[in-house]
Structure 1
């Protein structure tokens, strides 16, 4: 099924041909800048994870209620991308990026003074909207400049740069907690946002020329969204990407409680163990570049989802029976996260390759699906018990359903591969 030459839609091919792909040092510079910008989302999500128990104690909120602040962030990331993506197709990439970063900085400063969990959750949602600009614009710029396997390779490299964030974020948060309270985490996020604002202004050129921009009208935006959601292959790959991301957010939302409360790790040890999972994700995403020289993105996604489901079933069995203790949790979890490192760059690259004429809107719909589902998963882990089995069940479920969805649709007619 992967040997059939299938072409991308004509509009996508035209959009690709309008821009020459960067090479050499220019390619390296673009990827580093986009990686730095896209890291704001993971930093916003992960940096306060060690502080979740402290926030609950300080604001007198239950664990599941505190996790709703993470849900608020993910909702903001999802909704923000739906709004910012089409806007970036109309006015270009730089303006939405700059405005979104300013919003993130303002919300981060306001979090310093949040008097209760409800206000904190609202401000976290605004943080998410601001961070959404960096994420959707980075994906759209990749689609503006790269196509096919080159886009999948660029996304894999982005994950290398972006992956530093989840490795460092919990450790940075833990260090801040040693020096002060959880509110200091949001002060640090404000400073990081300001640094990335400078990067956005001075280091990123506009990648969408005026002649390729969409009309500044409401109906064309709706028409573009309708075109996207009626493209079965795009919807399939968006669902696969969202389910893969849901497995990742299961780990993010529950890991601080499982590792600190169930296994008794302190905040610094939690940061180290959490970083091990990020290393697995990053390492897989970089090996993905090697595999792309031999296998198609679709083949890699299939194999990775099978591996993730199998490792997830082992994780579920070990955590449910209590076998292996901490190592019985970490090792299969590491395997699941590693498998997701192959899915996360390839599924979006396949989806984006079909709609280069509306890369911002397509990236927005992809991101909204990923973070919208993540917003539902975050409190689900808490409702199921905030323990190892709860995380294992939600992660395995996401991988298994993604595999089932991809398999069923391919059987019905097959997904298309981008022209390369």
Structure 2
């Protein structure tokens, strides 16, 4: 494979992987404008984010078996077509209920891109190159929370919130064209692969019952729920309560993303000196303390916009350490069912995240308390689950250093 071909494949796969994160982050600055145009509240607009998380959770379980049965490209085409059509629908949406439903469909479509991209890395590149390829994909994905809300903020201010979905439509269409003409089929369809529910559910159950998996998958899912509570609640907190503009909100979101992304990279260095389970425990303990301080101060009205940003930054820094290590430890025990474990872990994360996002949306109190309470509560429950779950584990299967870097 030539260097040019190598780079081009990584660019396409990275763009496919980033489609979902862009779809989440780019429209956040438009929440107040959407609420005004559709005659609803910002809290209700946030339900369109919750429905997206539900779609991502379900889609991860759906596409894994389809990619093994029909090859990589056909399910990818179907997903991208669904994504493109749903994006057009979001652009044309005239009611909040329609937007909520269309965001669910958009999420299911975007899942095909992310799941297929991971599978195709395994197919197209030598095993020895996989860590480097995944690291490059993570750089592309990590750029999305810094670029997407900033771009979205300026687009909303200049052209209205519908313009964001026009951009997402263009991205999906471009990915469809790139996949059709420049992405090779990397896996032959397997007609012997069963799509009957029983063997699929059996594989998932064998993963779920493993003590190390359910301990770290559930604790990681709870911390991820805290992250998505922040993503869902931050538009209301910054634009409705602190009255920052959509452009400024985009820059704040980008800055806060640096904490999560930066600490996930520092984590790679820490793994040279400490075990993953040690890092997770300390990170979750710190996250719980920060969450409680954040909640107490928010209830008392102590924090200005600056104090809120500082505490969110510290909370997200802890996530940068806990999330990749918990993910790596949850998958570490599996070789045969690694795909099922990854799909189940991702679905669990997004499922808990959807509940957290839904919880934030249910409280129209015009304060930051619901968001911060769910963030603090998720951290405390994660810490409790980890402490209790470790008592049921025998000898721990240790995640490799690469796993700690790549599972993100």
Q: TM-score range by the shorter chain?
A: 0.7 to 0.9
Within the candidate set 28, 35, 38, 1:49 is matched to 28
Partner of 2:404: none
Q: CA deviation at 1:315?
A: 1.6
Please list the CA deviations of residues 106-159 of structure 1 after superposition, one character each: whole Å capped at 9, or x if unmatched: 1101111112111111111000101112233344456779999x9888766544
* Cα distance in structure 2, aligned partners of 1:117 and 1:184: 17
| Inter-CA distance 387–290: structure 2 relative to 1 (3 Å threshold) | same
Provide Cα deviations, 1:38-65, integer angstroms capped at 9, x if missing partner: 2111111111111111111111122332
How many residue pairs match? The answer is 398
1:353 aligns with 2:341: no
For the pair 1:243 / 2:222, whether they are aligned, the reply is: yes
- Match of 1:395? 375
Q: Residue in 1 aligned with 2:388?
A: 408
Distance in 2 of aligned mates of 1:156 and 1:321: 42
d(CA) in 2 for partners of 1:146, 1:402: 36
TM-score, length basis structure 2: 0.87
SS at match of 1:39: helix
Pick closer, same or farther for the CA change 1:307–1:214 going to 2, 3 Å: farther
> Shift in Å at residue 290 of structure 1?
1.4
CA distance in 1, matches of 2:43, 2:159: 24
Partners in 2 of 1:95 and 1:238 — Cα distance?
30
- Deviation string for 1:296-349 (max 9, x for gaps)? 322222222122222222222332222241111111110111111122222223
Matches of 1:374 and 1:218, distance apart in 2? 25
Q: 1:155 to 1:403 in 2, by over 3 A?
A: farther
For residues 308 and 34 of structure 1, do their structure 2 counterparts lie closer, same or farther at Cα, with a shift above 3 Å needed?
farther
Aligned counterparts of 2:276 and 2:8: Cα–Cα separation in 1:
25
**Cα shift at 1:32:** 5.3
Partner in structure 2 of residue 226 of structure 1: 205
Pick the aligned partner of 1:77 from 29, 40, 56. Answer: 56
1:417 aligns with 2:398: yes
C-alpha distance in structure 1 between counterparts of 2:388 and 2:9, whole Å: 37
Residues 309 and 212 (structure 1 numbering): CA distance in 2 closer, same or farther, change over 3 Å? farther
Ranges in structure 2 where 5+ consecutive residues have no aligned partner: 402-408
Maintained 8 Å contact 1:108/1:186: yes
Q: How far apart in 2 are the matches of 1:302 and 1:78?
A: 26
Contact kept in structure 1, 2:35 and 2:42, CA below 8 Å? yes
Answer whether contact 2:65 2:195 (CA < 8 A) is retained: no
Shift of 1:77: 0.8
| CA RMSD between the two structures | 3.1
2:163 equivalent to 1:173: no
- Mapped to 1, the partners of 2:371 and 2:310 lie a distance apart of 14
Instruction: Please report how far the alpha carbon of residue 223 of structure 1 lies from its aligned counterpart in structure 2 after TM superposition.
Output: 1.9
CA distance in 1, matches of 2:260, 2:185: 30
CA apart distance, 1:389: 2.3
Change over 3 Å in CA distance of 1:238–1:71 after alignment to 2: same
Residue 44 (structure 2) pairs with residue 60 (structure 1): no
Equivalent in the alignment of 1:266: 245
**Residues 130-145 of structure 1 correspond to what in structure 2 (within 5 A)?**
130-140=109-119
Q: Residues 257 and 212 from structure 1, CA distance in 2 versus in 1: closer, same or farther, beyond 3 angstroms?
A: same
Task: Kindly indicate whether residue 305 of structure 2 is the aligned counterpart of residue 326 of structure 1.
Answer: yes
Residues 70/286 of structure 1: CA separation in 2 closer, same or farther (3 Å cut): same
- Please give the alpha-carbon distance, in whole angstroms, between the structure 1 residues aligned to 2:381 and 2:366: 22
- Distance across 1 between alignment mates of 2:238 and 2:55: 27
Could you tell me how far apart the structure 2 residues matched to 1:292 and 1:200 are? 36
1:47, 1:404 → 2: CA distance?
A: 34
Cα pair 1:33 1:199 within 8 Å, conserved: yes
| SS in structure 1 of the partner of residue 46 of structure 2 | helix
**1:251 and 1:268 mapped to 2: Cα distance?**
18
| Alignment CA distance shift 1:141-1:245 (3 Å) | farther
Q: Is the 8 A contact 1:284 1:342 kept in 2?
A: yes
Contact 1:139–1:363 under 8 Å retained in 2: no
CA distance in 2, matches of 1:88, 1:409: 33
> Distance between the aligned counterparts of 2:267 and 2:132, measured in 1?
8
Instruction: Tell me whether 386-395 or 53-62 shows the greater mean CA deviation.
Output: 386-395
